[in-house]
Structure 1
């Protein structure tokens, strides 16, 4: 068996961020009375936040903004883009704090996640490499009852850098005392997870349900998590 250590991304790879965040946004829409802010519909709010949030995470991964800027600006910009009137400059941050309090309590996982983890656990050492916040990621894993599958949970807070910087992968290898040649990174974000790991000389699995085009080819590519059983 070539691999001994499997490193998973969490959000969008195992933990269903889109579904979980949509539930949180529905709650926010009611609690903060978005109808009174002239936000046309819950669906419009959910769709706009998804776009804005992905853009901010992309900027974060390119070191163009900080975590604090993401927290402060993503909801504020979402509301402004939707034409919200007369909102305070701190309103977006207030919503973000509410969101981060509620989000980790959600438990929806990507289809096949538990089946795959059950299959892999007896065969490999499993770990997480995430750009999320340490406490929030740990709480997500506890809420969705997958924390017991993993040894190390490595975030940018521990490593002092974030994907796609190869140093977070180097840190993970050192932290787990793994052999690089026996390690495999599994994630959904081509730039952060796949290119980052490739630049650290680690083999990769690109979880690519939307069949997005790639430049450099990963070691493996899958559309469903269950496909991991085909080669692991």
Structure 2
């Protein structure tokens, strides 16, 4: 039934949380954040995860811009932890983070196994709301670029998930048919509602058992379960 599989990247194939924690540990050392009344690395990592997710949610609902996310997420993280941080320090941390993060290579459990299984039978693509250069480096570092024919980002499509336009663009550049395409992602609002908006079938990768108001075409807890669907 399907010929084209469109994967989200962060949190679906590329292990953002694990790679982010490593990068934040590097920042903690490089910027000597222990001298800023930040005695616990784990608190820094945990607070950034919460703040970053909130900012991405705002971005995906078009309430803020990419630039606002870049400018504010580290400043807010530090301020929430009681550090007097200004926008300049926040930007410095963000730029260092974006340099470190794409060098990390941890993938979600089962990613390589399922990509090896699918690649001989389907055309695989990425649809991501991340920045083009950052996502390209992540794919390169984790050595999965050879699996994918097209990597579609919001910069290429001039739209971001869940906007129908990024899915329409992906279908066009992949030379695919909607009826032969399926979206696979972890973010219900961006990936699954985006696919529903575009009238594309979807697989909700849902390891945390998020309860959604609308049903995706399929739902899995582990990537390897794609073998039962595809």
TM-score range, shorter chain: over 0.9
4+ aligned runs moved over 2 Å, structure 1:
none
Deviation at 1:39, TM superposition (A): 1.2
Answering whether residue 41 of structure 2 is matched by residue 47 of structure 1, we say no
How many pairs were matched up?
Answer: 230
**1:160 paired residue number:** 158
Alignment of 1:161-180 (within 5 A): 161-180=159-178
| Kept in 1: contact 2:110–2:224 (CA 8 A) | yes
> Contact 2:123/2:148 (CA < 8 Å) preserved in 1?
yes
2:105 alignment counterpart: 107
Match of 2:20 in 1: 21
Between the aligned partners of 1:14 and 1:231, the Cα distance in structure 2 is 17
Query: How is 1:1-16 mapped onto 2 (pairs within 5 angstroms)?
Result: 2-16=1-15
* CA shift for structure 1 position 40: 2.9
1:64 pairs with 2:63 = yes
Which whole-Å CA distance do the structure 2 matches of 1:77 and 1:96 have between them? 12
Gaps of at least 5 residues in structure 2 are none
How does 1:94-173 map onto structure 2 within 5 Å? 94-173=92-171
* Structure 2 residue aligned with 1:84: 83
Match of 1:202 in 2: 200
How far apart in 2 are the matches of 1:40 and 1:77? Answer: 17
Separation of aligned partners in 2, 1:65 and 1:147? 30
Residue aligned with 1:63, SS: coil
1:33 Cα offset (Å): 1.0
**Residue 74 of structure 2 corresponds to residue 75 of structure 1:** yes
Shift in Å at residue 35 of structure 1? Answer: 1.2
